[in-house]
Structure 1
């Protein structure tokens, strides 16, 4: 499939990034996407859900919380964030061409609950149509259909822990592994902490991309229903603050 992550990145002309919700692309991989685009690489994004269960920040958008209008609003936010990052095309998983032949599926945000600080788990009221409960074979089939459509040189998505345990992230990781195996596409998982890399055993690359902060900041501003940008920090709907992420790693995985 590939002779290593660095050669794969050097040769790449098209990269497919797979995420679960609007804003994940910017929060987790915004700097990486902007850097790949600056290198002349075509970046395509596929998103599984519209983030229907996302918490909404206090302010004029708060009225969207829990309503059908939130999904449409987050679709528009994602389109604007993609433009800010330079993403060439964005697709919804389950909607052609990101769908198995003859099918259309609308995957729904599963929601989550905090198990402890930094670790999420399944919500207590997961709906039957939730993305995390969708049959893996079907989800992987939808992703494989998009891969066949765009022929990416590399697929990027979550690691086995989904970053912080969100059940939708875990499902996307599983689907990415399965779809990569079906299509013989190199798959790289996102690494959030440099200390978790093992240079002696990992086929991995760490990216320090502080110079991409302007692009990431612009994209984060577009996700105004979910977060607020305050200088070089972002504030989540629950009031949690964190520095805007501009460093990220990729680890090549063999499906």
Structure 2
């Protein structure tokens, strides 16, 4: 299935606020401009994300940072043109009969250049601590509720290895199999079976959406600078591979 073949609603499944823009912002804008209804479910508030230096006079506590990042996500989503947004663990992205829960950021640590691995400090309420079936069933509930033409999330490596990304790949793939929904994983380079999008003309809007995530990243011309100082060009191309 190509994105030109009857795709009318796409659900993006992301782990933390800013992932939607960093990984798929240009594609979201492209789809919205084509008249596609883009919806987003975010699993955590990114409570353990590092903060850009000097954004706040004092580093906020996790609860305050969660509220800040919720606001940043709302602002960025409006800029990108996202229709409906959901939090994983809250209806309709919660399995029927289950009490609402809040999945927390699992954290990570760098284990190599550009490669993340598990944090040594994972809490019992973190996304990766939840049973895979629970996360999967929450996504099944959302897919059943909104009936997307296509569901998009990370590849099996989570893009760069973040444990929350990997968990969402596994849960999203399982949920799509259970509901017979079409699933596409995000890939960073062209290749066999990849639908590739060159979207440099979307850069100004992506930059504006990244600017909304001021606690996490800084925009410097056509570059994005992360809280740890890592710098790279704002992503202007992305691929989808059907799983």
* TM-score where L is the length of structure 2: 0.97
Q: Is the 8 A contact 2:195 2:239 kept in 1?
A: yes
> Shift of the alpha carbon at 1:15?
0.4
Local SS of the residue matching 2:32? helix
Match of 2:117 among 113, 121, 137: 121
Q: 1:62-77 to 2 correspondence within 5 Å?
A: 63-77=58-72
- For the residues of structure 1 that align with 2:55 and 2:174, how far apart are their CA atoms? 41
> Which residue of the partner structure matches residue 155 of structure 2?
159
Match of 2:213 among 206, 223, 248: 223
- For the residues of structure 2 that align with 1:9 and 1:225, how far apart are their CA atoms? 36
> Which residue of the partner structure matches residue 59 of structure 1?
54
> Shift of the alpha carbon at 1:66?
4.3
- For the residues of structure 1 that align with 2:58 and 2:187, how far apart are their CA atoms? 35
- For the residues of structure 2 that align with 1:188 and 1:74, how far apart are their CA atoms? 26
Q: Is the 8 A contact 2:79 2:209 kept in 1?
A: yes
> Shift of the alpha carbon at 1:63?
2.6
Local SS of the residue matching 2:22? helix
Match of 2:34 among 28, 31, 39: 39
> Shift of the alpha carbon at 1:133?
1.8
Match of 1:244 among 227, 234, 241: 234
Which runs of structure 1 show a deviation greater than 4 angstroms over 4 or more consecutive aligned residues? none
> Shift of the alpha carbon at 1:214?
1.3
- For the residues of structure 2 that align with 1:83 and 1:9, how far apart are their CA atoms? 24
> Which residue of the partner structure matches residue 188 of structure 1?
184
Q: Is the 8 A contact 1:56 1:62 kept in 2?
A: no
- For the residues of structure 2 that align with 1:166 and 1:173, how far apart are their CA atoms? 11
Q: 1:80-229 to 2 correspondence within 5 Å?
A: 80-103=75-98, 104-194=100-190, 197-198=191-192, 202=193, 204-229=194-219
Question: Which runs of 5 or more residues in structure 2 are unaligned?
Answer: none
- For the residues of structure 1 that align with 2:67 and 2:232, how far apart are their CA atoms? 27
Q: How many residues are matched?
A: 242
Q: Is the 8 A contact 2:77 2:209 kept in 1?
A: yes
* TM-score where L is the length of structure 1: 0.93
User: How well do the aligned residues superpose, as a CA RMSD in angstroms?
Assistant: 1.1
